[in-house]
Structure 1
Amino acid sequence: MQLSRPYLGVKWIAAVLLASHLISRWIFPENNIFIDLVLFNSIGLFAAIIALSAPAHTDRVSAISFGFAALIWSMGSFFSTWNSFFELQIPNGFSDFCYAIFYPLVFLSVSRSFTQKRSISALELLDTVIIAVGLTSVLTAFFLKPAMLTFSGNSWQVFLSILYPVGDIVLVAMVAVYFLLNPFSFQSLLLTTGLLSFASSDLFFIWASINDKYEFGSITDDGWILGLLLLATSLTYSSPKSKFSEKISSASATIALIASSTLLGIAAIKPGYFPSFILIPGFITIALAFIRMSFALQEANTAVSERVLARTDELTGLSNRRNFLLHLSQFKSGFIFLLDLDGFKKINDELGHAAGDELLRQVAMRFSRVIPSGAQLARLGGDEFGVIAQIDQGQAIELAQALGSTLSYPISLPAGAAKVNVSVGFAPIDQSGESTDWLRHADLAMYAAKRNGVGSQMWISNIENLG
């Protein structure tokens, strides 16, 4: 895998900046505007650049979502760091918003990093949003009560304080599942290490804040930017497609829906137990679940229609040649019939293709009325039809005559009455032969019937010599 020199240069610059920040922090332990505000946050920006300019083979949804995640996180970090140095304060809501948006973007990127798809379906996108919004907010809601006993501030501030580590736990848990169910790859190693580094810094920050031990600008903060760089670098490498990814996403979305429903159920039984704002993500999750259900039903209907079209002749509604041959390969006894219309080309030329199509539809209806229950009738192409029936020889002779008799009287068309005949060739199906042999035998019998003008002909061993 060859990477362009400019791209490699960006990665090396980011690595040098990270090393410079670690060394500078060790040499200058005091808080410093350049080290803490400029150098620290520039590393996050370089992580965004690495992701957004990832190689062409990288999944673009994953690259773009993580690129914006790193950019937004760096903006939030810049806002909060700015307030530590300057009197002109930026409202904390800006940084809180940036940090909160970071998690669903990273979740989308991580989910996509384990597949080789080039497009994302509506269901995949909805699953991602349902998990990111539903599961994360619900877990945070259940941690909210015990957290309020320790954290200072109102319920909204406490909610935001614990939202971030809960988001980290959800992400790391999801990555762990993917990592365990997929073959090892260097990409998965970088991605997992990056998330663990980022999550560890978040969890340590929470623990240190609770115990009044956190120091602004400490060396542990570098775990955040190290994690961002590792996640961005992981996009350079490809990984095998996960055969479990869609099932895991669907199952996780279901769990998130159940959790959100449980949250709203508890809120209904115990009014006031949760702050009102905590219920909003639950309502959003359930609403998205209904939207997802409509998309799933639409896709299911489309899939059914496509499967039907794949095995059905569009003009007559009968089975097509592919489905006919599939059924033929499953038969072990009975007879196969090939039917070819006589005089169809003349009608098609004189009355037009629309009349020819209508004639084929009516012929198909006539044939369908005489075939026995359980038999397979198909249009094989043009004016050729096929029948497979599990019957004995006497019944086969009767069926061949009945199929011919269906065209003994004219067919009414908008352009006038038309008369066609049919040549029928049929051959026995037995375990000693193959489907290709049965098909060839019926074909030879059908052409013998057409040459001899006898209407129908059963295959016999010397039929190739009939003339």
Structure 2
Amino acid sequence: MRWGALGIFIIHLGVRLALDGPQIWVDLVGYNLIAIVACVALFSSPRHNDPLAIAFLVCAIASWTCGSLFSSLSQFYVLPLSGEYLANISYSLFYPFALLAIPRILNRRTSLSVTEMLDAAIFGLGLTSIATALIFSQVISVGSGQSFFELFYPICDLALLITLAIASITQIINRRFLLLALGFFIYLLFDYLYLWDRFQGSYQFGTVFDNGWLLGIILISQSLWLSPAITREFLPIHPAFIALSIFISPSLLAMMALRPGIFPSYIVFPTIATLFLAFIRMTVSLRQASALTDEKTLARTDELTGLPNRRKLIAALGEFSQVEGALMLLDLNGFKQVNDRSGHRAGDQVLIQVAARFARVLPEGALLARLGGDEFGILLAGSKIATHEIAQALQACVSYPFLIDGEKISVGVSIGHVDNSEGGDLLAKADAAMYRVKRSINS
């Protein structure tokens, strides 16, 4: 099955060279049979292929085949006007499916993030806008009577060509890539030659020229029978190129507004598409930044009390050496008995209320953190006398009972106070001071 399409193609080419003029069995049946066999051959390709790559490529070739059938039928039979539109729509569907298939054909293990795919699309459309403005505007004159599809096809062909160019930078070049690129290049080359002949009025149906598209499709189909590239990390596009692509689009639109007629109107399509994707990229980036901020906040927040956790306190401790103040570690006395007697739910409620009382006592700017269990930490700026007064206030604020589910629960607190001026490992010193206080209470 792998070589079926190529075998029929060679026979068809020989018959085409031997005959003159369009023939139903040659140009309608035989011609489109080659594309159908190429589709069938894709389903028989090795299992190392990505199923989505096969599905997208089959849809692309099948869409082109449908367009070819409508177009061929119109050469031998009188079809309603809708037949021409159906042919053009079918041909047009080849492009989105091909653009989706290319990355997966080259490397099925490459997993791109949304931002990486958007960056590639923005860069590709930006280059398409430039090329459309600088190249097609010189080849295709405005007002020459071209239909929408006659302008749409070359722009899409260029987008495919740029996609392959980007893939050559971000993927490993191997036989699979070369065969795929050659197939698309031949397909696109004959697309451009066809459009040129149409503009010149020299195109003739039923000649060897038409076999060019089939040759491209066969090579594209054959590329899936070769082994994919060894996985490597996707090389991101430099932000400067993304910024340039985004800058070009409004610049082209502004020039078209200030000097009407300087560029053909069909340039609007890739430029607006570039700006649209840029807005989507910005929205995705803002959401990702917000999510990262939330994750960072959650990583430094105690889930039960909503206070900063040990990680946050240690991070702040590094900057705290520059100001006058004190580090205090607080450990609740009698909290274990609360858990044993009233349960962990009551213990959690006590911790929440203790945190609230501590927060009310502390001045603005102080950092209160829950370090784990029944242990809290405080970073407090101020003189030695002022911080000792705050420590006494903290002891006083837990001296009266907590009301939990109608039950009065009492706990105390041991405070290890270390002046910032002492230097060294303040956390270890405060911990030692706290346990000295705790031992003195228990003795």
TM-score (ref. length: structure 2)? 0.71
Q: CA deviation at 1:420?
A: 2.1
Correspondence for 1:171: 160
CA distance in 1, matches of 2:88, 2:302: 59
Match of 1:199 in 2: 188
1:22 and 2:13 matched: no
C-alpha deviation, 1:94, in angstroms: 1.4
Cα drift, residue 25 of structure 1: 0.4
C-alpha change, 1:440 and 1:53, in structure 2 (3 Å) is farther
Q: What is the RMSD of the two structures over their aligned residues, measured on CA atoms?
A: 5.0
Instruction: Give the 3 Å change call, closer, same or farther, for CA 280–27 of structure 1 in structure 2.
Output: closer
Are residues 386 and 163 of structure 1, via their aligned partners in 2, closer, same or farther at CA, if it must alter by over 3 Å? same
Relative to structure 1, the CA distance from residue 131 to residue 408 in structure 2 (aligned partners, 3 Å threshold; closer, same or farther) is: closer
Q: Which structure 2 residues correspond to residues 1-12 of structure 1 after superposition, within 5 A?
A: 10=1, 12=2
Matched letter for residue 83 of structure 2: P
| 1:304 paired residue number | 293
- Tell me how many residue pairs correspond in the alignment: 431
2:398–2:413 contact (8 Å) kept in structure 1:
no
Q: Deviations over 1:51-89 (max 9, x none)?
A: 678777655655443332222122112221222333446
Are positions 1:342 and 2:330 aligned together?
no
Write the distance in 2 (CA, Å) between the matches of 1:309 and 1:28.
71
SS in 2 for 1:91: helix
Per the alignment, in what secondary structure is the counterpart of residue 379 of structure 1? strand
In structure 2, relative to structure 1, the CA distance for the partners of 1:395 and 1:94 (3 Å cut) is farther
- Name stretches of at least 5 consecutive residues in structure 1 with no aligned partner: 1-9, 456-466
Matches within 5 A, 1:39-438: 39-48=30-39, 62-88=53-79, 91-111=83-103, 116=109, 121=114, 140=132, 146-149=138-141, 154-155=145-146, 157=147, 159-210=148-199, 214-219=203-208, 221-232=210-221, 234=223, 237-245=228-236, 247=237, 258=247, 260-262=249-251, 264-269=253-258, 290=279, 293-323=282-312, 338-348=329-339, 356-367=347-358, 377-386=368-377, 398=388, 401=391, 405=395, 407-410=397-400, 412-413=402-403, 415=405, 418-424=409-415
Q: Kindly provide the amino acid, as one letter, of the partner of residue 308 in structure 1.
A: T
Cα 1:266–1:389, aligned 2, differ >3 Å: closer, same or farther?
A: same
Which residue identity is paired with 2:234? K
1:404-455, Cα deviation, whole Å (9 max, x unpaired): 63654336556465432234568899xx99x9xx8778667655654x1449
Residues 1:198 and 1:319: Cα distance change in structure 2 (over 3 Å): farther
Structure 2 vs 1, CA of residues 201 and 454 (structure 1 numbering), >3 Å: closer, same or farther? farther
Change beyond 3 A, Cα 1:258–1:49: farther
- Cα displacement (A) at 1:364: 3.2
Q: Tell whether the 8 Å contact from 2:326 to 2:387 is kept in structure 1 after alignment.
A: no
In 2: Cα distance, 1:280 partner to 1:92 partner: 23
Give the SS at the match of 1:341.
strand
Deviations 1:268-320 (A, max 9, x none): 44568888887577666655654554444334323322232233223333333
Unaligned runs of 5+ in 2: none
Cα distance, 1:228 vs structure 2? 3.5
Q: RCO (CA 8 Å, sep 6+): is it higher in 1 or 2?
A: 2
Partner of 1:6: none
TM-score (normalizing by structure 1) = 0.68
Name the SS of the counterpart of 2:73 in structure 1: helix
Distance 2:303 2:41 in 1: 50
**AA at the equivalent of 2:235:** F
User: Greater CA deviation, 95-104 or 81-90?
Assistant: 81-90
Structure 1 pair 33/250, CA: closer, same or farther in 2 (3 Å)?
farther
Counterpart Cα distance in 2 of 1:348 and 1:109: 60
SS for the counterpart of 2:67 is: helix
Whole-Å Cα distance in 2 between the matches of residues 109 and 167 of structure 1? Answer: 15
The range that moved more, 193-202 or 316-325, is 316-325
Match of 1:460 in 2: none
Q: 1:427 to 1:374 in 2, by over 3 A?
A: same
Which amino acid in 1 is paired with 2:400? Answer: P
8 Å CA contact retained: 1:44, 1:225:
yes
Q: Please state whether the residue corresponding to 2:307 is helix, strand or coil.
A: coil
Shift of the 281–208 alpha-carbon distance from structure 1 to 2, 3 Å rule, reads closer
Query: In the alignment, residue 26 of structure 1 is paired with which amino acid?
Result: G
- How far apart in 1 are the matches of 2:59 and 2:295? 37
Paired with 1:448 and 1:230, the residues of 2 have a C-alpha distance of: 81
Q: Which amino acid aligns with 1:169?
A: L
